[in-house]
Structure 1
Amino acid sequence: RPLQELTDAARRLSAGETPPPLPTDGPVEIAAVSSAVNQMTQALQQAEATRALMLAGISHDIRTPLTKLRLSMAMAMPESSDSSFVVAAESYLDQI
């Protein structure tokens, strides 16, 4: 049964899921591998949390200058200017 739990945990990790902590009792070799899988699971969770925080920060850092650029463009373009240029410029900003 311990090998089946290790196999299930590995499959869940490879699918991007978080397996429940594995028991670390039993034969020494199985306990060592179970402990290593538990540590790996915690490290992956921490890395994912760090990645999510970093992406949120990057998104915010990019959004602020883009908003300023949109405002500057709106203020600089007279109402009678070529609307196709404005639409294209806004489209490019949306892509960024």
Structure 2
Amino acid sequence: HQMIMEEEKDFRKEEIFFFLLEQLIEEYTEQEVPAGNTEQSTEVRAICEFLENHYMENITLDDLCKLTGLSKYYLLRSFTKQKGISPYSYLETIRV
């Protein structure tokens, strides 16, 4: 149980890191990072399905990147833009 909780914390820490990175890029380059299409993409649907089917497992951001072929940054940005919550938050709602 403790290992699962520690891994989740790593997942959340990684999400926070990439969200902060996005903020820094936007702040210091004076450019907004393009968000892409707001319709739910095939990749986001695949992530949701994976999380719903494997929510009891130790899931990492790397697992989701391997599943979709997206970079961590783009995956987090796209998922959050399309679903309104981060992948980690989505996983937490499934587990509740």
TM-score between the two structures when normalised by the length of structure 1 = 0.28
TM-score between the two structures when normalised by the length of structure 2 = 0.28
- Higher-RCO chain (CA-CA 8 Å, sequence separation at least 6): 2
